[in-house]
């Protein structure tokens, strides 16, 4: 019997993820708070639910890709939420980047209905989502990982089972904090180059082609020269860095220079000053 998928959260990354599932021929049901986000799917084989509960009743694997902890908890446990319609054996895959504690709370409630929650955050952005090359990290029981793999592999490559519930969220938080720290180093490298009299455009070209390149450097260039020089992405990165800081403190783990570097660039952006100095455009 073919697995059935449900998907909630059709934003910048969620929409191409859902499109990959639909295009793979997996029976898919969608729900969204804003009906206009469903419009690109109206000429596809996707079905549309009126509530998350209705979606869950028609799905074996429910993917959730909404903004934050509160949004995830609301769509899963709220009135007419996923758990109101999910039957025994249903898997709820949380693709949002949230605190591990949220997944643990949801899993405890879901288990009473025979529903399994896995944390399955993704990394890569909208382009890889559309290409099916997102990194998908999964935390939870091996059996649930294997059963959800036909859905996850439509948009993910690789799809890595990180371990028990919560481990994937922690891995994603480490990843995003490392990204932010790399962006901070990229900012400082660009600033130093200018102070040394190097043409900034030529330096940017050289660094992106050299062994010092990184995804974080590309983000630094976006913050420095992009249209939104205040760095809208810093809001989400700040959330993730904060979550990792709390998780590390609770575990008594030494974060080394990682958090210090990440917080450096976030502090600059929070004050509206583009890394490298000067006023925002």
Look up 239 and say whether it is catalytic. no
- Copy the structure tokens of residue 239: 């959330």
Residue labelled with tokens 């059996």 = 143
Locate the DSSP E strands across the chain: 5-8, 28-31, 47-48, 61-64, 91-94, 116-119, 122-123, 134-139, 156-163
Helix (H) or strand (E) holding 221: helix 215-225
Strand bridging mode 156-163 / 134-139:
parallel
Catalytic member of 112, 172, 202, 239: 172
- Which of 275, 97, 98 lies closest to 181 in space, CA to CA? 275
C-alpha pair distances (Å), 132 with each of 31, 50, 74: 21, 28, 28
Nearest alpha carbon to residue 16 among 59, 89, 65:
65
Residue 240: name the closest of 154, 122, 64, 118 by CA.
Answer: 122
Residue 81: closest CA among 70, 95, 67, 89: 70
Q: What are phi and psi of 117, to 5 degrees?
A: -105, 130
Just list the catalytic residues.
Answer: 172
């Amino acid at each position: 019997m073919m697995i059935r998928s449900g998907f909630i959260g059709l934003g910048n990354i969620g929409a191409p993820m859902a499109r990959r599932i639909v295009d793979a021929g997996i029976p898919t049901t969608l729900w969204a708070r804003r009906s206009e986000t469903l419009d690109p799917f109206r000429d596809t084989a996707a079905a549309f639910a009126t509530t998350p509960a209705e979606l869950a009743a028609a799905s074996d694997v429910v993917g959730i890709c909404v903004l934050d902890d509160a949004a995830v908890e609301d769509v899963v446990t709220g009135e007419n939420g996923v758990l109101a319609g999910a039957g025994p054996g249903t898997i709820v895959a949380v693709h949002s980047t949230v605190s591990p504690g949220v997944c643990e709370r949801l899993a405890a409630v879901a288990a009473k209905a025979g529903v399994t929650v896995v944390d399955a955050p993704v990394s890569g952005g909208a382009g890889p989502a559309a290409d099916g090359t997102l990194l998908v990290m999964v935390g939870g029981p091996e059996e649930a990982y294997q059963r959800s793999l036909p859905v996850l592999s439509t948009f993910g490559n690789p799809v890595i089972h990180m371990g028990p519930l919560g481990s994937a969220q922690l891995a994603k938080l480490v990843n995003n904090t490392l990204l932010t720290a790399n962006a901070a180093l990229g900012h400082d490298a660009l600033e130093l180059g200018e102070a040394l009299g190097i043409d900034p455009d030529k330096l940017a070209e050289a660094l992106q082609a050299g062994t010092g390149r990184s995804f974080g450097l590309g983000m630094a260039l976006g913050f420095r020269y992009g249209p939104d020089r205040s760095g809208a992405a810093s809001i989400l990165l700040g959330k993730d860095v904060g979550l990792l800081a709390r998780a590390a403190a609770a575990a008594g783990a030494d974060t080394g220079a990682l958090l210090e570097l990440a917080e450096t660039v976030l502090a600059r952006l929070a004050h509206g000053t583009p890394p490298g100095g000067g006023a925002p455009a």
